[in-house]
């Protein structure tokens, strides 16, 4: 089976519409898919249908804070009509708008005017740092997406604002109350020391988290094996996803991810 439980549409910071993403997943033979847009469920209201043979798992990627670091938690198999999740999405959307306003102010202090309006022109729904990057590229402030993050939007830069996000305990409980399973997203991307990563996983587990992504996009086999060991060590279910955003990012190609190691307990066994 081809399973991809982490991808994005233009309802957050992806390039494709929900229907375009479904079509691409179908072309690539994806058997089980979850659209996990950042802090929104709108993709599920904007899709026409799911092809026969493809199972769609309702999902979302929620922003949270652990200590002083931003951490993403995916909620899988959630109830799309759950009132707790609806309230959570509304709260996250308000935080995103406030955050976008603060990013704009910070960029204006660096000499870039009209950044909020510029970012909004690229956002179909939720405003995120990638939309500010697109604006900076459009006005010629940077040459590409990577330069925008390296200079202005990445970790520790002016546009890196994470203190407004709720803590991981709150986010995990939102997901559980919506009937879903909380998944620690792409653990290796936080660039933590081994000690700090194990502390994060431990705190996530203690908060009620039940799974972690062992495979995220294209990654080397040794990393997959290492994450599988951590997953087993903390008795967590294992998930996998491409973290797809756009077709030009080959390292995060929809559906083109490696299988989970046999030592893992797949998350989909919970709802199969």
CATH number, residue 124: 1.10.150.650
What's the pLDDT at 7? 98
What's the pLDDT at 163? 67
Region of residue 170 (phi > 0: left; psi between -120 and 50: alpha; otherwise: beta): alpha
Query: Which residues form the domain of 170?
Result: 3-88+163-270
Are 164 and 95 in contact by the 8 Å Cβ rule? The answer is yes
* 144, 252: one domain: no
Are 38 and 155 in contact by the 8 Å Cβ rule? The answer is no
Question: Among 74, 123, 116, which residue's Cα sits nearest to residue 99?
Answer: 116
What's the pLDDT at 268? 97
Per residue in 70-126, pLDDT (tens digit) is: 899 999 999 999 999 999 999 999 998 898 999 999 999 999 999 999 999 888 777
* 148, 245: one domain: no
What's the pLDDT at 225? 96
Q: Does 102 map to a domain?
A: yes
Outline where 66-82 has alpha helix (H).
none
* 84, 8: one domain: yes
Question: Among 150, 153, 98, 87, which residue's Cα sits nearest to residue 127?
Answer: 98
Q: In terms of pTM, does the model score above 0.75?
A: yes
Are 9 and 35 in contact by the 8 Å Cβ rule? The answer is yes
* 174, 108: one domain: no
Outline where 43-165 has alpha helix (H).
83-109, 115-122, 129-138, 145-148
CB burial readout 164-189, b (16+ within 10 A) else e: ebbebbebbbbbbbbebbbbbbbbbe
Task: Kindly give the parts of the chain with pLDDT less than 70.
Answer: 163
CATH number, residue 78: 3.20.20.140
Number of domains in the chain: 2
């Amino acid at each position: 089976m081809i399973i991809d439980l982490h991808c994005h549409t233009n309802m957050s910071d992806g390039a494709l519409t929900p229907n375009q993403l479904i079509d691409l997943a179908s072309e690539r033979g994806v058997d089980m898919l979850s659209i996990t847009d950042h802090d929104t469920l709108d993709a599920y209201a904007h899709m026409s249908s799911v092809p026969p043979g493809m199972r769609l798992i309702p999902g979302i990627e929620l922003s949270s804070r652990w200590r002083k670091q931003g951490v993403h938690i995916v909620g899988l198999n959630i109830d799309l009509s759950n009132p707790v999740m609806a309230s959570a999405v509304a709260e996250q959307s308000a935080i995103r708008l406030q955050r976008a306003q603060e990013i704009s102010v910070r960029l204006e202090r660096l000499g870039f005017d009209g950044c909020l309006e510029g970012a909004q022109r690229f956002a179909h729904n939720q405003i995120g740092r990638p939309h500010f990057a697109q604006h900076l590229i459009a006005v010629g402030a940077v040459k590409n997406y990577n330069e925008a993050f390296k200079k202005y939007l990445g970790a520790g830069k002016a546009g890196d604002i994470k203190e407004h996000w709720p803590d991981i305990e709150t986010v995990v409980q939102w997901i559980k109350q919506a009937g879903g399973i909380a998944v620690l997203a792409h653990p290796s991307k936080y660039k933590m020391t081994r000690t700090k990563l194990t502390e994060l996983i431990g705190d996530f587990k203690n908060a009620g988290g039940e799974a972690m992504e062992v495979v995220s996009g294209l990654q080397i086999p040794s990393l997959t094996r290492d994450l599988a060991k951590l997953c087993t060590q903390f008795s967590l279910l294992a998930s996998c996803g491409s973290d797809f955003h756009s077709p030009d990012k080959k390292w995060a190609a929809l559906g083109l991810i490696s299988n989970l190691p046999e030592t893992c307990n797949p998350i989909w066994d919970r709802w199969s």
